[in-house]
Chains A and B, each alone.
Chain A
């Protein structure tokens, strides 16, 4: 084969075909595991938590909570759990003695979050959870404080 006889048009076309083919048919994700992060957060007006294990919530989450019309000015992270859940599989995550969540990955990036308080099922939420999306559950806690469960993707 005489390589010198290959025309530049052929080379150009081949490059374009290769590039566009790779663009149109990207490699599929090797696994359908969803990496998630769940946080249990305590909202209060006290600038300092009585529990030394509590630490202020990271700025990104705190700012979103502060933007809401809540009366609490300080948010502390009680627990943070990172976990993975396979498609059509469920994962049980304990955030505290009283708070537990069950997370199931459904089709199309949908996540089913079931919240348990003191062992009792409180509610179930199904929502698409793309990257940068945050699902927040919250409720009243003693002494005019609040609890929050934040679920988001970690990948």
Chain B
């Protein structure tokens, strides 16, 4: 059942259809269980709404004021003033630190490069001075050690 048929069925139930269409729907309802079920459901809803006395409901304020409150609530976020960002995280605050940081960082770099290197290079330079040269040297840069193996016989 498409949307137009649903609307027509609602109109039939409300007695709003012309005679020809009303008879057509009555014929269809006799043979269409889905349509009949829908009509029953619509009737139930209508009955429930008929038994509901909306006049008993009283708003605490006038209708106009009630809706104006809703309208204001919708518009409030759009017109609300922007909350200032936390002071520490504002770009302006970071920018204030940026200038001295950059200047002093450059100064530190220049000083570091111009000063004599106080830390020795971490690469060991080996100088061997043997009485006789019967020795083998092995260097392992990964494990950071140097081995000097003396090839003398055991009795030495």
Contacts and interface: CB of A to CB of B under 8 A. Distances in A.
Contacts of A109: 120
Interface in B83-119: 96-97, 100-101, 104-105, 107-108, 111-112, 115
B52 interface: no
B105 to A, nearest CB: 7
Interface residues of A, number: 40
Given A20-B105, A123-B128, A138 B120 contact: no
A135 B100 CA distance: 46
Contacts of B146: 127, 133-136
Interface residues of B, number: 40
B51 interface: no
Interface stretch (B4-12, B73-81, B137-145): B137-145
A24 B135 contact: no
Contacts of A139: 149-152, 156
A24 B104 CA distance: 11
Interface stretch (A8-16, A46-54, A74-82, A83-91): A8-16
Main secondary structure of the interface of A (DSSP, over half): mixed
A16 B129 contact: no
B125 interface: yes
Contact of B100 (A12, A121, A138, A144): A12
A121 B115 CA distance: 41
Given A123-B148, A128-B120, A138-B148, A117 B108 contact: no
Nearest to B128: A125
Given A13-B100, A123-B130, A130 B152 contact: no
Given A24-B108, A64-B143, A140-B153, A125 B148 contact: yes
A2 interface: no
A68 B137 CA distance: 12
Most A CB contacts (10 A, CB to CB) among B96, B150, B151 go to B150
A17 B100 CA distance: 9
